[in-house]
A and B are shown apart, each in its own frame.
Chain A
Amino acid sequence: QQQVKQSPQSLIVQKGGISIINCAYENTAFDYFPWYQQFPGKGPALLIAIRPDVSEKKEGRFTISFNKSAKQFSLHIMDSQPGDSATYFCAASFSRDDKIIFGKGTRLHILP
């Protein structure tokens, strides 16, 4: 009930392409859905986040799409760049300052 399922495990995209990572959750009490980006040797860094009352949020090249009825959300990275190569985690929590339940992560590699 508290799981967040993430796919794919790994993703290779050409430079300039669109990277898409999908996540699903079960617990409808989740109220905050952040995405984190992690580079090797570093801790996760908050990329973008959304609340379930919003269907889409865009920040620069990064967009979250949220489907509350399907209990699914996704991250789209437009015009993907080699510098975007990292591991991405979707996550959920009951509030912005509550414990975070993470997906298993997606290793994204952007080909130059």
Chain B
Amino acid sequence: EAGVTQSPTHLIKTRGQQATLRCSPISGHTSVYWYQQALGLGLQFLLWYDEGEERNRGNFPPRFSGRQFPNYSSELNVNALELEDSALYLCASTTSNQPQHFGDGTRLSIL
């Protein structure tokens, strides 16, 4: 069974640009979670999508947004990038009452 896949592995942007990160869940999983792992801040919940709808979001500004497609894959968009957005962005997938499985993340670097 293929795990959660994320692309790209690394992404380098400059301040003010926009970034798009992608996630493909495990087959059969309908929920996708996004987390940010920033140095010194640990893993923080960003967004939760289930059946195409945004179910919950963490304490992040509106320039962090995303969507879930009919095939349950998901996209995270970060607008107006700031230096503090440099982090590893992790996607996890799950289905009803199952634990979350994580991908290996996208390393976003802001220059």
Contact = CB atoms under 8 A, between A and B. Distances in A.
A89 B92 CA distance: 15
B28 to A, nearest CB: 13
B96 A43 contact: no
Contacts of A95: 97
B68 interface: no
Interface string A72-109: 00000000000000000100000111011111110000
Interface residues of B, number: 25
A43 B90 contact: yes
Contact of A43 (B31, B58, B102): B102
A83 B26 CA distance: 27
B90 A101 contact: no
B70 interface: no
A70 to B, nearest CB: 23
A46 interface: yes
A44 B96 contact: no
Interface string A41-72: 11111100100000000000000000000000
B62 interface: no
B24 interface: no
Contacts of B90: 43-44
B6 to A, nearest CB: 8
Contacts of A100: 33, 35, 43, 45, 92, 100
B42 A46 contact: no
B101 interface: yes
A29 to B, nearest CB: 15
A98 to B, nearest CB: 8
Contact of A102 (B31, B42, B48, B103): B42
Given A101-B45, A104-B42, A105-B42, A46 B101 contact: yes
Interface of A: 34, 36, 41-46, 49, 89, 95-97, 99-105
Q: Give 7 nearest A-B pairs by CB, closest first.
A: A43-B102, A102-B43, A104-B42, A99-B45, A43-B104, A97-B94, A44-B102
